[in-house]
Chain A
Amino acid sequence: MAVQYGGRPAQGARWRLSWNDRNVRAIVYQALALLAVLAGVWYFIDNTLDNLARLGLASGFGFMDREAAFPIGESLIDYTPADTYARALLVGIVNTLYVSAIGILLATVAGTIIGIARLSQNWLIAKLASVYVELMRNTPLLLQLFFWYMIFLELLPGARQALQPIPDVFLSNRGMRFPVPVAAQGWTLLLAGAVLGLVATMVTANWARRRQEATGQQFPIAWTGLGLIVGLGALGWLVGGAPTALDRPVMRGFNFAGGVEVSPEFVALLLGLVTYTAAFIAEIVRGGILAISQGQTEAAYALGLRRGMVLRLVILPQALRVIIPPMTSQYLNLTKNSSLAVAIGFPDLVHLANTAINQTGQAIEGIAIIMAVYLTISLSISLFMNWYNRRVALVER
């Protein structure tokens, strides 16, 4: 035992085999606990093996190589029913990650705006934000998902009478359809230019920081960066022939052709996850900002900093420290909540694994896969956020 108790010499003391010795008791307790857990696990495994043999169920991951033979509504990677179960589950993992990643991004933006709105001096805006937060936080997410999904299925018209809130964006009970640029060299070059600009900005920022530390001279890095990214991107676009062609959705017969379509399930799931999580993030952001004492702001103004600099140099770095740990758990929650997709039929990992379980009867393997994937995702998000948290954490002596 690492812990030492006062009064007893730790080194070289005679080791008494007595129930009065704390360390002896600790070993006995631990042995008993381990034994109890192992006995329980052994009992369950034994029963399970018996039951599997009795029911004639197969075990092992052999089914992963067999043909899945079920279609999947939407997939980011190529998939046909002739593919294997492994591929079908991979589709699920990709879909889960996809919806979670977009959800986290949008929820962070929306939540931050709503959180700041709750602190607004404008009474109307602050009240509206509060009502939103209370409504969202105090009703079950599943109910909200059903609600959004129902709006798509029952209230939106069919494809022929699709709503058009923005030109060329169509909403119907088949989902949402919007135009995308036709693939052309110009778009590739635009992306390449923007990436180049980003790299150049990072290099310049590094140089500017070192120069400021050495000489105290400042460099307008924000504007330079913006100029580099936008400018180089635009240059690439122009060099590539300035393509403007859009692949627009057009009505053909009973459905649309062209553009990109996202299913009602996907939109409902994303909308539900974002609006729900945004309410929680709003509270975190609000709490983080309120946690910074007024004196910090006043001191920063007294130093002669401008409003933007006060926010960027004084408030945000401190607020982030308070915000990041609870934000991490919200990101994890959103990812885990994306499994509710199974209730509205979006093919996420849980949905597809569930289908695989129903078809093969191999529940244990199916659930083991789901759990392993979620644990990996949870662990990765935690590790990343912990790393980021360490970066912004207060450096103490």
Chain B
Amino acid sequence: MAEIAHGGPAATPMRPPAIEIGVAGWVRKNLFNGVWNSLLTIVAGYVLLTTVPGLLDWAIFRAVWSADTSAPCKVEGAGACWAFIADKHRLIFFGTYPYVEQWRPLLATGILLVLIVGSCDRRFWNRSLMIYWAVGLVLVAVLMWGGVFGLTYVSNLDWGGLPLTLIMAVVGCVFAFPIGLVLALGRRSHMPIIRWLSVSYIELIRGVPLITVLITASVIFPLFLPAGVSIDKLLRAQVGLILFEAAYIAEIVRGGLQAVPRGQHEAADSLGLSFFQKQRKIVLPQALRMVIPPLVGNFIGLFKSTTLVIVIGLFDLLNSAKAALTDLNWRGFSIELYIFTAAIYFIFCYSMSKYSQALERDLNKGTRR
């Protein structure tokens, strides 16, 4: 830059003081800029130094990784008993599904994961995705239930573990979406009765905890059906989840609908499009695009909420894990179990939330100034 300096000899560039660059500079700028921050750093650093090594020691260095009995874990000074998880992993992942048939839920879980991960890629966002999903869900149903192609029939009362959690979340979302869409359109309708019905449903469901909906599904649904007709516990819980989720999806979609400018509606009207043509070709494509990130967030919530089915006695991932605690040979390793289960939930939810953030940035690219 010496050429553009005005007058005088060209200034020789001076290196900044060593304390302002490199590691020292970073530490000074981010950890010790001022008395208050230095104090905070020292306190936080002290707490970390006193806890983290002990935790690592417990969780990794002194941990028992494999053992057939709990004896090595009960030795004085033994760390985390991961051998317990290793011994019980089939129960945790698949619940009470018949032991020899557990390759089927494993495969079903794989299919669901491929579908979910595949749907995250925007290259696949087209009509054929729906076909893949339909085929995938049928495959999952065939694998889980069996009864055809030489597979033995497994009652859905024996389903459990991770596949059950995934199925409940995925099916809940897939079926709740169309209902939510209709409710959202209904809430914005010009027709007072339709609007009133939608608002009542949405506010009623959103005002009560999921647990009450699940208890309703478990004890009151059977009373609603004619004598002799009965649907099993899992299906009732699933219906409860769908009805609950629909109200929340409706509110998210409504947010998207409200964000579509009025001019778009008027333009569609002036083209002479019918209500459904207008919604399908003009309004919904714009509205739904905007609400994809909050819908992913909502799915994370649903994924976490499926744990509540424990209250009506279904064996989802969390309840299957808790079932492992009842083994008298492995008592007293609840912490390891809860950490392991939490890690599974965390991996799913964290990756989905990171994806939703990336997607939001991506979708906003066109409109961001």
- Please give the residue numbers on chain A whose beta carbons come within 8 Å of chain B beta carbons, in ascending order: 1-3, 26, 29-30, 33-34, 37, 44, 47-48, 50-52, 54, 120-125, 128, 134-135, 137-144, 146-147, 150, 154-155, 336-337, 339-340, 342-343, 350, 354, 357, 363-364, 367, 370-371, 374-375, 378-379
Q: Which of B89-97, B112-120, B188-196 contacts A (4 or more CB under 8 A)?
A: B188-196
11 A–B contacts from the bound complex (CB under 8 Å): A44-B224, A51-B227, A121-B37, A123-B31, A124-B31, A139-B304, A140-B305, A339-B212, A354-B215, A367-B219, A371-B207
Q: Which of B144-152, B172-180, B341-349 contacts A (4 or more CB under 8 A)?
A: B341-349
Across chains A and B, the number of contacting residue pairs, with CB separation under 8 Å, is 148
Interface residue ranges of B214-262 to A (CB < 8 Å): 215-216, 219-220, 222-227
Q: Which residues of B contact A342 (CB under 8 A)?
A: 211, 311
Q: Which residues of A contact B33 (CB under 8 A)?
A: 121
Interface residue ranges of B298-336 to A (CB < 8 Å): 300, 304-305, 307-308, 310-311, 318, 322, 332, 334-335
Whether A143 lies near B353 (C-beta < 8 A) is: no
Interface residue ranges of B329-369 to A (CB < 8 Å): 332, 334-335, 338, 341-342, 345-346, 349-350, 353
Tell me the nearest residue of chain A to B308, going by C-beta.
A142
Q: Which residues of B contact A147 (CB under 8 A)?
A: 335, 338, 342
Whether A154 lies near B334 (C-beta < 8 A) is: yes
Name which of A140, A337, A343 has the most chain B CB atoms within 10 A of its CB. A140
Give complex CA distance A64, B190 in Å: 43
Give complex CA distance A128, B197 in Å: 46
Q: In the complex, which range does the number of interface residues on chain B fall in?
A: 35 or more
Beyond contacts A30-B193, A357-B215, A371-B207: 9 other A-B pairs, Cβ-Cβ < 8 A, are A51-B227, A122-B40, A125-B41, A138-B349, A141-B304, A146-B322, A363-B220, A367-B216, A374-B209
Whether B204 lies near A125 (C-beta < 8 A) is: no
Query: Which listed residue, B30, B307, B335, touches A142 by the CB 8 Å rule?
Result: B307
Whether B207 lies near A1 (C-beta < 8 A) is: no
B22 at interface by CB-CB < 8 Å: no
Give complex CA distance A134, B342 in Å: 12
Q: Which residues of B contact A141 (CB under 8 A)?
A: 304
Query: Which listed residue, A29, A138, A143, A375, touches B350 by the CB 8 Å rule?
Result: A138
Whether B44 lies near A128 (C-beta < 8 A) is: yes
Whether A357 lies near B219 (C-beta < 8 A) is: yes
Majority DSSP secondary structure for residues of B touching A: helix
Whether B346 lies near A37 (C-beta < 8 A) is: no
Whether A142 lies near B318 (C-beta < 8 A) is: yes
Query: Which listed residue, A122, A125, A340, touches B211 by the CB 8 Å rule?
Result: A340
Interface flags, B21-38, vs A, CB<8A=1, else 0: 000000000110100010
Q: Which residues of A contact B307 (CB under 8 A)?
A: 140, 142-143
Q: Which residues of A contact B5 (CB under 8 A)?
A: none
Give complex CA distance A143, B345 in Å: 10
A147-B338, A336-B209 known; A47 vs B190 contact (CB < 8 Å): no
